[in-house]
Amino acid sequence: MFGEHELKTQFIKIIDKKIHLVESSGNTVLYRRDDVRVLIKRGDEKLRVLPAPAEGYGVKFLFIKLSEKIAIPPKERLVGYLSAPIDVSVMSGDLEIDRFVVGREKYTLYGEKTVGVIARYHESDFYEKPPDSPGIVKLVISNPTESWKLVERIVFPIRNSVMFYSAEKAYYPLVILTTKEIYEVNNTGNPPDGTLKPTHEAEPLPNFRMRWS
């Protein structure tokens, strides 16, 4: 699924979508996906199918509601995984020739009506191991305070975020939620697992930390 594919006649199944490549006699390959058509002149590059952050209609944040709230004792931390939506980016060389959403799109307003932001919405259980889901978030919840804290959602920035992937699964960078008096969420930009490949070189993220009450 994710990774490089030869520019030759073949079908490539991407979750609930299907890409069809058709070779011609003129050293070109026709890329087809639903109503998208792109004629590719073959060279040394392969077609790359990569996970992308679930920006959908151009949102900057991903909102994941936990199916069950999590209570964290003072001075403790919990590490686990969430399922998450993703987009898919198709690259020919350094050019994105197609980008699409997989699965069902949901959006929500986070914050007040007058100052809130539109975010991609998803609901997930909390897992001890990576779930059987195309998109995954590794989450660290840290409670540095002297009080018990309750976590019921996670909201973090995703615009232009690097992604990490294996052949069948896509991961967001490691996300750290710190339950201070105002909860802090940090998309670290770091891989959740050293065996995964990055979609591109992660840029330095100066204070890439957002605060959510």
In the chain, where the domains are located: 51-212
* Residues 31-69: tens digit of each pLDDT: 999 999 999 998 888 999 999 999 998 899 999 999 999
If pLDDT is split at 50, 70 and 90, which confidence band does 192 have?
very high
Residue 129 exposure: Cα atoms within 13 Å on the Cβ side: 1
Q: Report, as an integer, the average pLDDT of 165-183.
A: 92
- Cα pseudo-dihedral 151, 153, 157, 161, rounded to 10: 100
Q: Is the pLDDT of residue 129 over 60?
A: yes
- Asked if 141 and 53 count as a contact pair (C-beta separation under 8 A), the reply is no
If pLDDT is split at 50, 70 and 90, which confidence band does 109 have?
confident
Q: Report, as an integer, the average pLDDT of 65-84.
A: 97
Q: Which single residue is written with the structure tokens 């959403």?
A: 101
CA-to-CA distance for 136 and 204, rounded, in angstroms? 22
If pLDDT is split at 50, 70 and 90, which confidence band does 103 have?
confident
Burial 121-141 (b: 16+ CB within 10 A, else e): bbebebbeebbebbbbbbbbb
If pLDDT is split at 50, 70 and 90, which confidence band does 207 have?
very low
If pLDDT is split at 50, 70 and 90, which confidence band does 206 have?
very low
Q: Is the pLDDT of residue 211 over 80?
A: no
Burial class (CB in 10 A: 0-12, 13-18, 19+), 57: exposed
Query: What was the pLDDT predicted at 111?
Result: 74
* Residues 132-143: tens digit of each pLDDT: 999 999 999 999
Query: What was the pLDDT predicted at 110?
Result: 82
Higher pLDDT, 79 or 206: 79
CA-to-CA distance for 160 and 60, rounded, in angstroms? 9
CA-to-CA distance for 109 and 25, rounded, in angstroms? 51
State what percent of residues in the chain have pLDDT above 70. Answer: 93
